Amino acid sequence: MEKDNAQEKEKRLKRATQENYLLQKQSFQFLFQMIFIIGGPVLLAAYFGKKIGIEKNMHPRLMIILMILALAFSWSIILIKFFKFNKQIKKIDEIIKGEREKT
């Protein structure tokens, strides 16, 4: 009976460790996503800021305003993604910690 419990605990620990590894892999993917999340809006803001700014004769100010808005938008997306990801990591770390304390 103790052997079954030990094997079950070992399986849960192994499963939690695998989930932890997958989250680490996702964190690297998250870094690449950040490049596009920040770069895309900033490039669009620069392009449209320059194009519209030249037509309206307010090029530097409009481009700066659009870039600030683009960065604020990008950072809000990044923070939302980070908090969701961090919540997953904490849940798995608690499972691992609990399983290690039981053994």
Does position 4 have pLDDT exceeding 70, yes or no? no
Q: Answer whether 81's CB lies under 8 Å from 33's CB.
A: yes
- Give the pLDDT score at 83: 92
Query: Of the ranges 21-25, 80-84, 99-103, which one carries the lowest mean pLDDT score?
Result: 99-103
Range of 20's domain?
2-102
* pLDDT per position as a tens digit, 32-91: 888 888 888 888 888 888 888 777 777 778 888 888 999 999 989 989 988 988 898 888
**Cα 23 from chain centroid (whole Å):** 11
- Give the pLDDT score at 64: 85
* pLDDT band with cut points at 50, 70 and 90 for residue 2: low
Does position 1 have pLDDT exceeding 60, yes or no? no
Q: What's the structural domain count of the chain?
A: 1
Amino acid identity, position 79: L
- The number of helix segments (H) and strand segments (E) in the chain equals 2, 0
